[in-house]
Amino acid sequence: RKEVEQDPGPFNVPEGATVAFNCTYSNSASQSFFWYRQDCRKEPKLLMSVYSSGNEDGRFTAQLNRASQYISLLIRDSKLSDSATYLCVVNIGGTDKLIFGTGTRLQVFP
Amino acid sequence: NAGVTQTPKFRVLKTGQSMTLLCAQDMNHEYMYWYRQDPGMGLRLIHYSVGEGTTAKGEVPDGYNVSRLKKQNFLLGLESAAPSQTSVYFCASSYSAPSGVYNEQFFGPGTRLTVL
């Protein structure tokens, strides 16, 4: 089983739609969780960290479920500019390393 | 404030040739990382450094060496390039460890390397 697994998509949604991605992780010692965004042929950029109590940043909501070992990202009122690949990223506790998922591709159409 | 820069942006090598990729950051970050990204594989950590003069192996270190002689620079070397090293290489830096408070990793624009 991969350490971090994501549905590769693509998720094709119309503008204004709500879309959610899940990501599962295998190591129960995982401590820190992130969503990064990567545009085509560009570098990844931090979208948001994921906190135990869940957190929101504008149209984006991230949640963590430690019992089931998954994190989620909800995007409301999708914009064309949200089209990108969303990377689920996990840090194993006690290490200096991040484990990246292969990404979920989102395409928002007019 | 340039952030994280990488040179070169593109390179084509022949099998057996050597090269060095340079990563520079101007944010006074302690932590620096080298990743490779291949289709369907996600980013994989090659080597990383937790401070000037220190380096450590990541997930896929074979065939690569690194050096961190200055805090702002992190060099990735390929001594004898192989076609399996064709990839996009990203450098990243962060102020603290992934479990720390200021843990955002800032990435450079990438180097696209092809080994023939």
Identity of the residue in B42, B97, B107 whose CB atom sits nearest the CB atom of A103: B42
Compute the nearest-CA separation of A43 from chain B (Å): 5
Chain mean pLDDT for chain B: 95
Pair A63, A49: CB distance under 8 Å: no
- A5-28 tens-digit pLDDT: 999 999 999 999 999 999 999 988
Chain A residue whose CA is closest to B6: A43
Q: What is the pLDDT of residue B100?
A: 78
Q: What is the pLDDT of residue B83?
A: 97
Chain B residue whose CA is closest to A35: B104
Q: What are phi and psi of A80, to 5 degrees?
A: -55, -35
Would you say how long chain A is, in residues? 110
Q: What is the pLDDT of residue A97?
A: 86
Q: What is the pLDDT of residue B116?
A: 97
Using pLDDT thresholds of 50, 70 and 90, give the confidence band for residue B97.
confident
Using pLDDT thresholds of 50, 70 and 90, give the confidence band for residue B1.
confident
**Of the candidates A82, A89, A87, which has an alpha carbon nearest to the alpha carbon of residue A108?**
A82
Task: Tell whether B74 lies on the interface with A, counting CB pairs under 8 A.
Answer: no
* Burial profile A58-87: b = 16 or more Cβ within 10 angstroms, e = fewer: eebbbbbeeeeebbbbebeebeeebbbbbb
Q: What is the pLDDT of residue A2?
A: 81
Chain A residue whose CA is closest to B39: A102
Pairing state of beta strands A44-50 and A30-38? Answer: antiparallel
- The residues, any chain, with a CB within 8 Å of residue A106's CB and separated by 6 or more, are A9, A10, A11, A13, A19, A21, A75, A78, A82, A83, A84, A85, A86
- Look at B109 and A96 and tell me if their CB atoms are within 8 Å: no
Instruction: Collapse the DSSP code of A82 into the 3-class scheme (helix H, G, I; strand E, B; otherwise coil) and give the result.
Output: helix
Contacts of B104 in chain A (CB under 8 A): 46, 49
- Look at A96 and B56 and tell me if their CB atoms are within 8 Å: yes
Pair A51, A59: CB distance under 8 Å: no
